[in-house]
Amino acid sequence: MPAHLLAFAGVLLATTLMGGAAAAATPAPLPASSSATACPAVLQHRFDRLQDEKPQSLCQYAGQVVLVVNTASYCGFTGQYKGLEALYNKYKGQGLVVLGFPSHDFSQEPDSNGKIAEFCENTFGVKFPMFTKSHVTGAEANPLFQQLAQRSGSRPKWNFYKYLISRDGQRVTAYSSFTAPDDPALLKDIEKQLMTK
């Protein structure tokens, strides 16, 4: 074998022995456009859909303005379902999504997931995404609500507490249960967030 080919083979062998194993053990960096990078941390959670209990990634809502609400079927604020659905219908074409999280933390959601889904659809015509019943406050709160409470500095005080998440997932604003879905201040904040691309 010619000398220059022997030298090349030696370099190749040395590179393989010294760096090949390390290179193989180190995963390639994710491209900037990957879903892991594009999805903000606050949405990097999976929950089961209320209607069929199939797992859903909240990353599918990345890039949208997200209004998260903890709900209950037997509450003085339950009528807000109608307003939330109207809000969703009015702004979904502009990039708003409403996410409902039923909870029995305030002793007003004793029903099963199937009954909750039936109630929401039959009574209020709810079409916005809903997820299975979970804890939204205290040590057992689901990871999303833990994050929302931490970022906003406010945990749910009652049913139909609301969190507005900006398109980039960096800003979280909390609203009390008394803030109705058609509250002018809430609508103003939603419209402001929708204008931000």
Res 59: pLDDT: 97
Res 47: pLDDT: 98
**For 108-150, how does the pLDDT look when each residue is reduced to its tens digit (9 = 90+)?**
999 999 999 999 999 999 999 999 999 999 999 999 999 999 9
CA distances from 167 to 25, 43, 65, 194, 195 (A): 36, 11, 5, 8, 10
Whether residue 12 is contained in a domain is answered as no
The mean pLDDT value for 169-175 works out to 97
- 156, pLDDT greater than 90: yes
| 120 carries an active-site annotation | no
Percentage of residues of the chain with pLDDT beyond 90:
80
The CATH number for 75's domain is: 3.40.30.10
Residues recorded for the chain? 197
Choose the catalytic residue: 39, 59, 75, 120.
75
- 35, pLDDT greater than 80: no
Spatial contact of 100 and 71, defined as CB atoms under 8 Å apart: yes
Range of the domain at 72: 39-195
Whether residue 136 is contained in a domain is answered as yes
Whether residue 50 is contained in a domain is answered as yes
Res 37: pLDDT: 52
Q: Where are the beta strands (DSSP E) in the chain?
A: 46-48, 55-57, 65-71, 96-102, 162-165, 172-175
Instruction: Give the number of domains in the chain.
Output: 1
Whether residue 25 is contained in a domain is answered as no
Whether residue 22 is contained in a domain is answered as no
